[in-house]
Amino acid sequence: MVAAAREWERHLVEIETGLPPDAAADARPRPEYDPMTQTMAAREKAKAAELTAAGSKTGVRTVQRMRARYRDQGLWGLVDTRSARAAKPTGHVDERVVTAAATVVAAQIGTSTGTRSRAIRQIRELLDDEHGPGVVELPSQATCYRLLEVLSKGRHTFGSAVTRRQTASKPPRPYTATTAARPGEQVQLDATPLDVMAVMDDGVIGRAELVLSIDIATRTICSGVLRPVGAKAVDAALLLARATVPEPMRPGWDQALAMAASRFPHQRLVALDARMAMAAAKPVIVPDTVVIDHGKVFLSEVFLRAADTLGISVQPAHQQTATDKSIVERTFASINTLFCQHVAGYTGRDVTRRGTDVVERAVWSLPELQELFDEWVICGWQTRPHEGLRHPFNPDQATSPNDAYAALVAAAGYVPVALTGEDYIELLPADWRAITDTGIQIEYRTYNSAELRQWARQSSGVTAKGGRWEVHYDPYDVSRVWVRNHHGQGWIIAPWTHYTVVGQPFADFTWRASRKIARAARCRRHQRDGRRGDPRGAAAPRGNRPRRRPGVGAHPHCP
């Protein structure tokens, strides 16, 4: 295009001055272009004839038009812009059709994924509603397909519904990195089901749920708690408690995992906190601010009270905005590929990647899986270079979470948080109960002790609670509860009266499963006894048997 424009410039200059721009100093104009003897019209006519004779058919009007463009725009006016002209993405389709198609594509965000033929039908209906039946003609099917392809590009309109919603929820503002200058400045929390089957305490095979906290400055996994799917508020509270204390070395762990063998300033940390002497090589990070979503677990009174007890600020993320805690969301994906897929009982991230014998391969109990995860965090995550930890002045070198912490703790310092047994009890969920002669009842379990018996039928003195007593309990260990002594100090420990019969750790969900099994057995017994005493039982004619409404059992307590 530039060469053609330069060639036109050479011809036009010769028309104007009689000489081309590259003529020698002593050159004389050709007779047909001599301004002294030929008029401008004659020179234009001669140039048109010359170009036509050279093989490029050119009229006088074309020469005049190019002269005018060169006079107004210079060399740019001689450029053939037809090849550089940007075509409309939607082509020559009627703008009314384009508007209707854009509306239909935008409406697919929250609906189930359909086909393009459904979208074309919706476009037709929308055009008829807005402009009248048949007023706006719809293009051919091929053109409609191309139009939908242009309008839905990058929006996953006809792909995964989950990806489509996630794409639509992305903020329009420019993306900026989430940064923190010191450990604990911002910690992100979230919970998600883990892609691993585990053996629960009641013997049932099910997926575990991981409640996780990760530090932004160092990408350290501060703590992770594995529980059956359906995490409770106490899990989130214990997550904070575990993050603020050193991770102890476990029996069987290699000494290479100890903090003394790491790059941490171990001696200085031991001088500040004696618990560091036997700690594993994982940083202890006390959060200043935690970012949470709007799940009931994190907005519960138990979690908010635990955060307040530890002096931690809680910052809820915007609703339906995963980018507010994108780092913890991405960490879950890393855990899936770096840890879960190497564990027996791995399910794959969706059903299309799931094996046929996942349940049979599940061999790890939940406590065993928790210990495996804790060990992997120390030896597999904390020492692995993280792509998000690159120094601006040295971006070609990725840093591990432990190295990032060792560098930042020297500048930010370390303040130990000593959690006592009473602090742990304060983090547990609480309820208010009256103390009767038989003790305290929670979920049909009775708790009593000699010390608690002294306060039977007495008021706690808390008038706002009707004289009831504050009771704290652990949903994962129902063997005892803690009753606050409102007339003195400390706690009254009340064991479960039937715990000696059980004789092993008993969680709240195990108790619920046992009640469900017992209720089902009682129903079967009532149904069996009813058939034995009913003269119109199996021997009775079919038409004379008692009829029941659908969904109603033979006993009021039967499902």
- Report yes or no: 445 and 511 within 8 Å, Cβ to Cβ: yes
**Residues of the chain where predicted confidence (pLDDT) is lower than 70:** 83-86, 392, 414-421, 476-477, 501-522, 524-559
Domain 187-412 carries which CATH code?
A: 3.30.420.10
Task: Please list the alpha-helical segments (H only) found in 203-275.
Answer: 233-243, 266-272
Domain ranges of the chain: 2-78, 95-168, 187-412, 429-506
| Angle, helix 233-243 to helix 301-309, in steps of 10 degrees | 20
pLDDT of amino acid 531: 56
The two tokens of residue 556 are 């009021």
In this structure, which amino acid lies at residue 490?
G
Question: Residue 113 in 3-state DSSP?
Answer: coil
CA distance 64 to 374: 83
Question: Which of 35-40's residues contact partners 24+ apart within 8 Å by CB, and which partners?
Answer: 40/15
CA distance 404 to 382: 10
Beta strand pairing call for 386-391 and 394-399? antiparallel
Question: Residue 519 in 3-state DSSP?
Answer: helix
CA torsion, ordered 16, 20, 24, 28, to nearest 10 deg: -50
CA neighbor of 273 nearest in space, from 243, 309, 246? 246
Rounded to 5 degrees, what are φ and ψ at 127?
Answer: -65, -40
CA distance 376 to 342: 11
The two tokens of residue 168 are 């639509």
- Report yes or no: 191 and 230 within 8 Å, Cβ to Cβ: no
- DSSP secondary structure code for residue 436 in this structure: B
The two tokens of residue 58 are 């050119």
The two tokens of residue 213 are 């906290």
Q: Please classify residue 427 by burial: count the beta carbons closer than 10 Å to its beta carbon, then call 0-12 exposed, 13-18 middle and 19+ buried.
A: buried
CA distance 372 to 380: 11
Helix%, strand%, coil% for the chain, nearest 5: 45, 15, 40
Q: What DSSP line would sit under 475-497, residue for residue? A: TTEEEEEEEE-TTSSSEEEEEBT
CA distance 283 to 244: 9
The two tokens of residue 450 are 């000699």
CA distance 21 to 433: 103
CA distance 341 to 353: 11
Looking at the DSSP bridge assignments, the partners of residue 442 are 445
Q: Which residues touch 139 (CB under 8 Å, ≥6 apart)?
A: 93, 94, 97, 147
pLDDT of amino acid 94: 92
CA distance 430 to 433: 10
- DSSP secondary structure code for residue 161 in this structure: H
Radius of gyration in angstroms for the set of CA atoms belonging to the chain, rounded to a whole number: 39
CA distance 293 to 302: 16
Question: Which of 430-436's residues contact partners 24+ apart within 8 Å by CB, and which partners?
Answer: 430/302, 430/470, 430/471, 430/472, 430/473, 431/470, 431/471, 431/473, 432/465, 432/466, 432/468, 432/469, 432/470, 432/471, 433/468, 433/469, 433/471, 434/467, 434/468, 434/469, 435/469, 435/483
CA distance 52 to 34: 20
How far does the chain reach from its first CA to its final CA, in angstroms?
A: 83
The two tokens of residue 37 are 């003897």
CA neighbor of 284 nearest in space, from 266, 301, 311? 266
pLDDT of amino acid 540: 43
CA distance 483 to 110: 49
Q: Can you give the length of the chain in residues?
A: 559
Q: How many CB atoms are closer than 10 A to CB 405?
A: 27
Q: Which residues touch 111 (CB under 8 Å, ≥6 apart)?
A: none
CA neighbor of 67 nearest in space, from 15, 103, 22, 136? 15
CA neighbor of 127 nearest in space, from 137, 114, 112? 137
Q: Tell me the pLDDT tens digit for each residue of 461-484.
A: 999 999 999 999 877 667 889 999
